[in-house]
Structure 1
Amino acid sequence: MSSSVAEGGWGWIIVASAHSAMLIWDGNVKALAVLLPSLKEQFTSQTWLIGIIIAGLSTVLELTAPIIGAINENFNIDPRYVGVTGGVLSSFAFMAASFSSSTLQLFLFISVIGGIGLGLAFIQSTTLVPRYFDELYPRASGIVTCGTAVGMIIFAPLTQLFLDTYGWRSSLLLVGALNAHLIVTGSLLRPVNQVNASYSTIEPNYIDADTTGRKDTEKGTPFLKKTISAKQVLEFLFPTTIFTDPIYILHLLVFCCSAFVLSGWFIYLVPHAISKGLQPYEAAAISMVSAVVSIIGRLSYFPLVERDIVKIRSLMYAGSALSAVALLVDPWMKTFWSLTISSSAYFLGRGVFKSLFFVILKGNIGAEHFASGFGWCVAIGGIFRFIAGGVVGWLYDYTGHYDYGFLVLGGVECLGIFFLFVEDMYRNTRLQKK
């Protein structure tokens, strides 16, 4: 980080904006999950098709990440324009979706337009956070990712209330109104005037960095940060600096497994609970309790990390293992309290892992390349989110219950632990050679 940028400062406003964007993104997904049975009945559709539409929102959102990352690294575009545009699009998308008469219209409005809008708001705000923080980045990352849990707490019961009171069309209209808050948070994304141009950041003592130094000395223009050729456009979108790094590729595989599992769990938790005989409000309550437990976990780890009491990777292994076990035992959870405990255990482990994953990513590729590295992680992970939405829904249509789908999610979670272990071994080997 450049010495001209104080640790934190206006960065806490950026953190609040990124937190709000994540809250609304995951809140939108949870709202659609609550509406899934009604949408399935309204459009006489199969479960997997509605699941794909819901997952498509996150997929399109995440596919915008590499483009926004390239823009951030190479163009002098005020992030406030990007954030406000995203808020307008996401609000319009859900309001327009309330008038849909087919699943195709629902897909175009929610998945495509809504995904692009939320992508502009969320990716732009999230990639600004590491520009403001170094030592306090674990804390900032934890606060940002708490948006997922807070979104569950707010949107799950609120959408159920909207649905029972006004019906699914008015529920989408009201969710679109809530999305308009992104216009306000987008206007707060003040750009950093000067950031560290080196590939490696000043690494906190809790990160074992493995980076190489690089500085850009090319002169830029009022619009471009540096002069570029047509050939360099591909380099901006597909940066060889990170894609030739095996550690980054392993990071990518870990993230894809995590994205697949989280998408399936997030979309189908409420329908899954209802299929086991619980009432809709009980299913929504499971989401709320899981979210509260996750928030406690996300906010509890960073004092331990910042004081070097517990290593980041130890917490990541523990979080992933807890999530995997919770999913694998889920088919035997039949009551409200047993489902609440297993769901809370999964989301607690996932919350800690997700927050720390981005801390590790930043430490390995540096703040300057974080936008591109983060962007490609979420973009490719978005494809796996899309697949999960269809796979779990298809297994339900084929078997009549969600148990096999949740077992698949548990298996993929174990695969992510394996990739994390391989990345850890490879990284230690490379550091020993140096």
Structure 2
Amino acid sequence: MAKAGARQGWCAVLCLHMTWLFSTGLIKGLGVMLPSLVEQFSAPTWVIGWMVTIVSGVVCFTGPGLGISLILTRTLVGMHFTDNYATASGIGSSGHAVGLVLIAPFTQLLLDTYGWRGAMLLLGGLSMHLAPCGALLRTPPRETDSYETLPASEHDQLVSQAHSADKKTACCKRKDDILARFGCSVCLRVAYWRAAIVLICFRFVPALWVVYFVSHAQAKGFSAYDAVMFTTAAGAGSFVCKIASGLVVDRGLMSLRWAMSLCIVVASSTLICISWTNSYWSMMVNAFCHYGANGAVGSFCDIYTKELLGVEHLGSAMSWMELMAAVLLMAFGFFPGWIYDQTRSFDLAFVIMGGIQALPLVSLFMEWVMMRRQQRA
């Protein structure tokens, strides 16, 4: 990477870091305020929780604001970095962890000082700091030394164009043009769905965890500040694991797929076992390990997608994956709150969330079986 390209690449990493920080801060801030909002509006927990997850879904579904910022910055990091991509992705996405560490206790302070209306106003003002990040971004220059086959003569070029025109009808051309403009063609590839299963599951469940974990801790009898400290431990775990996992993969100490499988097992098992974690330190360790594994898989998703589909399809693939995750959040983001209203406990909801996070293991296992068969053939 040239010096100017390296500078632009690290600017993209900085912008990705800040985008994740404010995105997580906004949603986690609403999660911290969930008990206060339930009391303020005298509404069931699942209704207010669903409203918060709808906000999270709309961010990805409609695009403007945080949705566009996340897709563009992640795509630019993938375009700028060929070497040390895992490390760059880990540093950039560690803004998600920093948001948990800083914004959660800060939101609790704002809530106690200014009430929920003032807290929302100040969180919205903080998000305005994303605007200067856009001024730092530049599209990387296109490669000019790539080999491209040219026709032998003008006559050969005309014959080639006429032959291809005969093959496609006007209707097919129009369809292909529409698919190309919206990036829909990437959804027709099997590799896309292998990456999509991982990303969608690890967008859906962590978003629910961010919204409902504080309420879950308070339902177990912990104070609001204890619950916020658990999320701070979760953020610290995510930060450590994002940076460490990037270094482990880039240095070749563990392959991407084995590292991702290990983190998926940890993330899933910590949710399934959460009903047995009732002491302060067990909750602290559970939050640290669970969100640390979540953070590592979140970084791996971008690397996995780039490896399967290539950098030229990275933006389109991420956009459609985030859209699908958003639809899932808006449709089913209420269920942990609904289970709590029915049973007065979040334990069953978190066990179900752990089962959902284990689903990508099936996709990775099927990919491993297919690769083994290809090697034997």
Compute the TM-score of the two structures, normalised by the length of structure 2: 0.87
Of Structure 1 and Structure 2, the greater helix share is in 2
Q: Secondary structure at the match of 2:109?
A: helix
Structure 2 distance, partners of 1:47, 1:194, is 51
Matched residue pairs, number? 351
SS, match of residue 32 in structure 1: helix
> 1:239 is matched with which residue: 165, 181, 184?
184
1:167-212 CA-partner distances (Å, limit 9, x unpaired): 00000011011111111112212222325898xxxxxxxxxxxxxx
Between the aligned partners of 1:402 and 1:387, the Cα distance in structure 2 is 19
RMSD of aligned alpha carbons = 2.2
| 2:327 is the counterpart of 1:379 | no
Deviations 1:292-345 (A, max 9, x none): 122111111222222212111111011000111101110111122111111111
Q: Structure 2 matches for 1:191-206, cutoff 5 A? A: 191-194=139-142
The one-letter amino acid of 1:47's match is: T
Q: Which runs of 5+ in 1 are unaligned?
A: 66-115, 199-217, 219-228
User: Does residue 232 of structure 2 align to residue 284 of structure 1?
Assistant: no
1:427 offset after TM fit, Å? 4.5
Q: Percent of counterpart pairs with the same letter?
A: 32
Q: Deviations over 1:105-146 (max 9, x none)?
A: xxxxxxxxxxx3211222222221111111121111101211
**For 2:139, what is the secondary structure of its paired residue?**
coil
Instruction: Please identify the structure whose Cα radius of gyration is greater.
Output: 2
Mean CA deviation greater in 152-161 or 188-197:
188-197
Amino acid aligned to 1:152? L
Of 16, 19, 28, the residue aligned with 1:18 is: 16
Deviation track 1:10-64 (CA, whole Å, cap 9, x = no partner) reads: 1101110111001100111100001111112222222112112211222122224
Specify every segment of 5 or more residues in structure 2 that has no aligned partner in the other structure, as ranges. 147-160, 162-172
> 1:91 aligns to what?
none
Which residue does 2:27 correspond to in 1?
29
Which residue, out of 146, 165, 176, partners 2:124?
176
Q: Secondary structure of 2:142's partner? A: coil
Deviation digits for residues 266-310 of structure 1, max 9, x if unmatched?
111111101111111110000001111221111112222222121
Q: Is the 8 A contact 1:24 1:179 kept in 2?
A: yes
2:46 to 45, 48, 56: 48
Match of 1:160 in 2: 108
Which amino acid in structure 2 is aligned with residue 55 of structure 1? T
Q: CA deviation at 1:354?
A: 1.3
Which residue in 2 is equivalent to 1:251? 195
Contact persistence 1:131–1:195 (CA under 8 A): no
Contact 1:5 1:194 in 2 (8 A): no
Q: Distance in 2 between matches of 1:348 and 1:354?
A: 10
For 2:136, what is the secondary structure of its paired residue?
coil
2: distance between equivalents of 1:370 and 1:423? 20
Q: What letter matches 2:290 in structure 1?
A: Y
Tell me how far apart the structure 2 counterparts of residues 29 and 308 of structure 1 sit (CA, whole Å). Answer: 35
Distance (whole Å) between structure 1 residues aligned to residue 139 and residue 115 of structure 2: 41
CA–CA distance in 1 between the matches of 2:139 and 2:346?
Answer: 45
The TM-score, its normalising length taken from structure 1, stands at 0.76
Counterpart AA for 2:11 = I
Amino acid at match of 1:397: D
User: What is residue 38 of structure 1 aligned with on the other side?
Assistant: 36
Aligned ranges 1:285-300 → 2 under 5 Å: 285-300=229-244
| Secondary structure in structure 2 of the residue aligned to 1:194 | coil
Kept in 2, the 8 Å contact 1:247–1:426? The answer is: no
Contact kept, 8 Å, 2:60 with 2:66, in 1: the verdict is no
Where 2:311 maps in the other structure, the secondary structure is coil
Do the aligned partners of residues 196 and 346 (structure 1) sit closer, same or farther apart at CA in structure 2, a change above 3 Å counting?
farther
- Give CA deviations for 1:58-89 in whole Å, capped at 9, x if unaligned: 21222246xxxxxxxxxxxxxxxxxxxxxxxx
Query: How far apart are the structure 1 equivalents of 2:138 and 2:120?
Result: 31
Distance (Å, rounded) in 1 between the aligned partners of 2:306 and 2:12: 17
